[in-house]
A = this chain, B = another copy of it.
Amino acid sequence: MAELSVRSGVAPPTIRYYLREGLLFPGELTSPNQARYDDSHVRRLRLVRALLDIGGLSVDAAKGVISAMAAKSGDEFAVLGQVQYGLTPPARSDAPPPPAARARVDRIISERGWRVREHNPSRLALAEAIGTLEDLGRHELLAGLDRYADAADALAEQEVDELLAITGEDARAEAIIAADVVGDALLSALRRLAQESAVAARLAR
């Protein structure tokens, strides 16, 4: 346990908490008070930290993702879906998005020829975002939605190419988690840096 803590950078009480919550699988018992942990435990701890720290997931949401990983249905499309849906932030607003926003989501999906299941929770997340832009009167962003969709499409093509080149269901699930949870954080930070730079460049002219 002490060694696992040093290798993973996670404090022993936190590791014990993850064990109790099922976020980490038990080590091999070598005596009633000793367990052996290996690289797979270090790797899992890093994944859990990524979900909680970078993704900001609740412990319950992280448990959902970890159990989706463990489900191993064998159907690649289903595994991607289970893990990815668990990474989609739940609707935060009490009110459902307005029907016009949902209709706009359907239109974007059909215009782009995207093949997306009806129960993909990102449909609702996108409708919430669009409904908020409408409420805020941000017509410039609504008019430019295609640019965001183009960027998403280009990044997704590459991400999925890389994903399907990875072998092993656990490794693939880890790659989805990294691409989605850490990818969101990457894009968020890079956009803010690029925005500041673009403003500085405009004002310098």
Say if the beta carbon of A152 comes within 8 Å of chain B.
yes
A80 to B, closest residue via Cβ:
B199
Tell whether A203 pairs with B77 under 8 Å between CB atoms, given A120-B193, A155-B148, A193-B152.
yes
A156 (CB) vs chain B CBs: closest residue? B194
Q: Is A5 an interface residue (CB 8 A)?
A: no
Q: Is the pair A155, B151 in contact by a Cβ cutoff of 8 Å?
A: yes
Q: Give the CA-CA distance A193 to B152 in the complex, in Å.
A: 9
Are B151 and A196 closer than 8 Å at their CB atoms? no
Does any Cβ of B come within 8 Å of A36's Cβ? Answer: no
A169 within 8 A of B: no
Say if the beta carbon of A95 comes within 8 Å of chain B.
yes
Task: Say yes or no: A152 contacts B196, CB within 8 Å.
Answer: no
A115 touches B152 (CB 8 A): no
- In-complex Cβ contact of A156 among B114, B148, B191 (8 A): B191
Seed contacts A56-B92, A140-B175; 16 additional CB < 8 Å A-B pairs: A49-B132, A50-B136, A53-B128, A54-B92, A88-B189, A89-B185, A109-B193, A115-B197, A120-B192, A126-B193, A133-B182, A140-B165, A147-B154, A147-B158, A156-B195, A184-B191
